[in-house]
């Protein structure tokens, strides 16, 4: 088979017409192009060098073939310029010529002599393939120039339309962008929902296996909130000036992982622990080292409740509750603990000691990035055996390797004697009675304003108010301050003298036991025999009841004790 060297008889007349007509006129030679290419590619693959020739031709015309695919998709345009039609037409014809010359070269036996490489064939002027390739390149350059010029013309003519198109596209893109953001939000919300559901299941599994009652775990949250709400403004603002606290809270490399907060009863230890909880939470920003916080407020009746059989092991209960708290904010820990609980049966955790729990709950870890802060408030309320077992475990923390010490911080509050002799004397200690003067002063100011006490502007009242603020704020004990303020209020109501107020203030610094005894004697003088009987009855319910009774319950108990028809003792006494 042979084709003429210059098959220009394929040319079609050019004229303007409809969009469909213009497109059909431009691409009428398309079937001829494909036929020529098919014939060329269907030649038996007998000669390796001929394959090189075909590859070389298609390498030269690849750009044209790609443009041709684009031209097939231009139906959205209203017309095709004649100049562009002509250049595309000529390129097609040149492509057909190249195919015809290649087929002719193969049919003529050029490749029967293997000594003639494809490179020589392409460069051989006698065959005309090289010349036709040069012609194809010139046509391609011309077509590109015409296309660019026409594009510029259309841009200049339709600048306003283009602006409208771009604005519309911009609005569409904005809508699409908004929609994509909405999809992303929904996807993220669904992912968060699944993660939360998984975390909830993990927490429930941990709570079931430890086991910890939900009400027990919530007690500390409630007590922390109540202490925070009842405390005066800026409670604990002096902490950031205390070197022991700063070193402990900021996790200095050479700091002790233990910190003690000591003070007598009613010195505001729980108030301060609630302030520390908020200070640590505020410090846990996105740029700060990772931390997880857990705290447990031992109830004031913990020792009595343990004796009554309600919670025989409050220290172990505290560790279990802290494990749940850490799992709330640390997904890695929750995942680990859930898997660990899965590997144990229901009875495994029931009789574990503090040491066993500390080992299994993994509060210490040298390889993790998160520091665990554990806060125990009111250890003086815990029975001796349970407390000493916990202190024995915690006292070992300063002896751990530095890498493990860096991942644990423990604060314990209680009376000074609570930690002796189990905790080393070298442990950093904050004596709250030496530090809480500013808080007690604000407490006194708030109380005086609330009771409208010593608010006059005369010189005597001003002097008395200053004396009360200066002297009582140094006591460090809210019980002593409240007792003194109550006496001052009663004295003022009875139109007492200024000397009576000074005497009350001077006696306020006595030992708490002495103050309580004096208060009892005073009540014995002012109460009637019936009132003393009722008070003794209430004291019996408070001291010997198996639970801490509310005011309403105490009133009901008092009524039942006075009425032979109503006996409630079985509800509160074991």
Q: According to DSSP H, which parts of 210-313 are helical?
A: 214-230, 243-249, 269-283, 302-307
The three-state secondary structure class of 193 is helix
> Is residue 198 domain-resident?
no
Indicate if 426 and 451 belong to the same structural domain.
Answer: no
Indicate if 55 and 137 belong to the same structural domain.
Answer: yes
Closest CA to 355 of 386, 381, 333: 386
Strand partners, 258: 410
Indicate if 28 and 153 belong to the same structural domain.
Answer: yes
Pair 327, 206: CB distance under 8 Å: yes
> Is residue 105 domain-resident?
yes
- pLDDT confidence tier of residue 26, bands split at 50, 70 and 90: very low
The three-state secondary structure class of 561 is helix
CATH number at residue 246: 3.40.50.300
- pLDDT confidence tier of residue 258, bands split at 50, 70 and 90: very high
pLDDT of residue 572: 47
Indicate if 410 and 483 belong to the same structural domain.
Answer: no
Of the residues 432, 452, 483, the one at which a domain ends: 432
> Is residue 283 domain-resident?
yes
Indicate if 262 and 408 belong to the same structural domain.
Answer: yes
490-518 per-position pLDDT tens digit? 888 888 888 989 999 988 887 767 666 66
Indicate if 420 and 471 belong to the same structural domain.
Answer: no
- pLDDT confidence tier of residue 129, bands split at 50, 70 and 90: confident
- pLDDT confidence tier of residue 51, bands split at 50, 70 and 90: low
The total of other beta-carbon atoms located within 10 Å of residue 457's CB is: 6
Indicate if 342 and 426 belong to the same structural domain.
Answer: yes
Spatial distance between the Cα atoms of 515 and 480, rounded to a whole number of angstroms: 8
Specify the pTM: 0.60
357-380 per-position pLDDT tens digit? 999 999 987 667 889 999 999 999
pLDDT of residue 408: 94
Q: Mean per-residue pLDDT for 290-307? A: 77
Q: Is the peptide bond before 524 cis (omega within 30 degrees of 0)?
A: no
Which H or E element spans position 260?
strand 258-262
Spatial distance between the Cα atoms of 97 and 228, rounded to a whole number of angstroms: 92
Closest CA to 290 of 364, 362, 371, 363: 371
Indicate if 408 and 270 belong to the same structural domain.
Answer: yes
> Is residue 415 domain-resident?
yes
- pLDDT confidence tier of residue 100, bands split at 50, 70 and 90: confident
Indicate if 216 and 333 belong to the same structural domain.
Answer: yes
pLDDT of residue 428: 96
Which of 53-62, 89-98, 142-151, 413-422 has the least mean pLDDT?
53-62
The three-state secondary structure class of 409 is strand
> Is residue 296 domain-resident?
yes
Range of the domain at 473: 436-526
How many domains does the chain contain in total?
A: 4
Pair 438, 398: CB distance under 8 Å: no
Spatial distance between the Cα atoms of 453 and 445, rounded to a whole number of angstroms: 10
Indicate if 571 and 518 belong to the same structural domain.
Answer: no
Kindly tell me the burial class for residue 411, based on how many C-beta atoms sit within 10 Å of its own C-beta (0-12, 13-18, 19 or more): buried
Please state the separation of Cα 452 from the chain's center in Å: 46
What single DSSP character describes residue 399?
G
Q: Mean per-residue pLDDT for 528-545? A: 74
Sheet holding 258-262, edge to edge: 291-297, 371-377, 408-414, 258-262, 429-431
The total of other beta-carbon atoms located within 10 Å of residue 477's CB is: 23
pLDDT of residue 479: 86
More confident residue, 20 or 177: 177
Pair 56, 118: CB distance under 8 Å: yes
Which of 230-234, 430-434, 467-471 has the least mean pLDDT?
230-234
Distance (Å) of CA 5 to CA 42, 43, 535: 20, 19, 127
Closest CA to 329 of 196, 170, 495: 196
Closest CA to 293 of 229, 368, 375, 401: 375
Spatial distance between the Cα atoms of 28 and 529, rounded to a whole number of angstroms: 123
Pair 495, 519: CB distance under 8 Å: no
Strand partners, 295: 375
> Is residue 184 domain-resident?
no
Q: Is the peptide bond before 475 cis (omega within 30 degrees of 0)?
A: no
Pair 412, 403: CB distance under 8 Å: no
Of the residues 122, 138, 157, the one at which a domain ends: 157
More confident residue, 189 or 14: 189
What single DSSP character describes residue 549?
P
565 pLDDT higher than 50:
no
Indicate if 386 and 512 belong to the same structural domain.
Answer: no
> Is residue 171 domain-resident?
no
- Mean pLDDT score across all residues of the chain: 77
> Is residue 115 domain-resident?
yes
| Terminal C-alpha separation, the chain | 116
Tokens of 565: 């028809």
Indicate if 262 and 240 belong to the same structural domain.
Answer: yes
- pLDDT confidence tier of residue 246, bands split at 50, 70 and 90: very high
Spatial distance between the Cα atoms of 413 and 262, rounded to a whole number of angstroms: 6
139 pLDDT higher than 60:
yes
């Amino acid at each position: 088979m042979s084709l003429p060297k210059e098959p220009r008889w394929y040319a079609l007349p050019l004229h303007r017409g409809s969009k469909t007509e213009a497109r059909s006129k431009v691409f009428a030679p398309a079937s001829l192009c494909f036929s020529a290419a098919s014939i060329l590619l269907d030649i038996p693959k007998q000669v390796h060098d001929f394959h090189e020739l075909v590859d070389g031709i298609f390498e030269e015309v690849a750009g044209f073939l790609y443009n041709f695919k684009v031209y097939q998709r231009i139906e959205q345009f209203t017309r095709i310029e004649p100049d562009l039609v002509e250049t595309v037409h000529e390129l097609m014809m040149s492509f057909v010529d190249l195919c015809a010359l290649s087929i002719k070269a193969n049919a003529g036996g050029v490749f029967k002599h293997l000594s003639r490489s494809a490179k020589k064939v392409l460069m051989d002027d006698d065959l005309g393939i090289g010349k036709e390739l040069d012609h194809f390149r010139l046509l391609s350059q011309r077509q590109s120039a015409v296309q660019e010029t026409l594009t510029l013309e259309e841009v200049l003519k339709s600048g306003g339309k283009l602006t409208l198109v771009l604005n519309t596209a911009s609005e569409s893109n904005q809508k699409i962008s908004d929609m994509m953001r909405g999809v992303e939000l929904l996807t993220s919300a669904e992912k968060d929902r699944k993660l939360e559901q998984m975390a909830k299941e993990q927490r429930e599994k941990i709570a079931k296996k430890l086991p910890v009652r939900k009400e027990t775990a919530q007690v500390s949250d409630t007590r922390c909130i109540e202490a925070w709400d009842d405390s005066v403004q800026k409670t604990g603002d002096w902490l950031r000036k205390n070197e022991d606290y700063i070193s402990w809270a900021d996790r200095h490399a050479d700091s002790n992982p233990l910190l003690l907060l000591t003070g007598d009863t009613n010195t505001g230890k729980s108030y301060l622990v609630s302030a520390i909880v908020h200070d640590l939470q505020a410090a846990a920003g996105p740029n700060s080292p990772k931390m997880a916080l857990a705290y447990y407020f031992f109830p004031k009746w913990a020792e009595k409740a343990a004796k009554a059989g309600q919670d025989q092991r409050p220290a172990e209960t505290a560790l279990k509750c802290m494990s749940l708290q850490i799992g709330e904010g640390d997904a890695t820990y929750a995942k680990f603990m859930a898997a660990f609980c899965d590997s144990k049966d229901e009875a495994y955790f029931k009789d574990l000691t503090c040491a066993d729990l500390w080992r299994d709950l993994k509060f210490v870890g040298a390889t993790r990035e998160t520091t665990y802060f554990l806060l125990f408030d009111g250890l003086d309320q815990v029975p001796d055996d349970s407390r000493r077992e916990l202190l024995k475990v915690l006292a070992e923390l300063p002896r751990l390797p530095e890498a493990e010490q860096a991942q644990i911080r423990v604060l314990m509050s209680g009376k000074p004697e609570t930690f002796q002799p189990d905790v080393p004397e070298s442990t950093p200690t904050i004596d709250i009675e030496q530090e809480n003067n500013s808080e007690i002063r604000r407490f006194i100011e708030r109380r005086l304003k609330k009771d409208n006490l010593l608010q006059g502007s005369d010189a005597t009242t001003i002097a008395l108010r200053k004396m009360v603020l200066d002297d009582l704020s140094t006591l460090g004990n809210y019980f002593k301050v409240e007792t003194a303020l109550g006496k001052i209020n009663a004295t003022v109501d009875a139109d007492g003298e200024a000397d009576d107020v000074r005497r009350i203030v001077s006696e306020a610094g006595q030992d708490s036991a002495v103050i309580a005894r004096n208060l009892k004697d005073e009540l014995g003088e002012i109460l009637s025999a019936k009132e003393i009987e009722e008070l003794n009855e209430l004291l019996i319910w408070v001291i010997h009841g198996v639970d801490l009774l509310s005011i309403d319950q105490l009133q009901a108990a008092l009524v039942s004790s006075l009425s032979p028809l109503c006996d409630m003792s079985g509800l509160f006494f074991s």
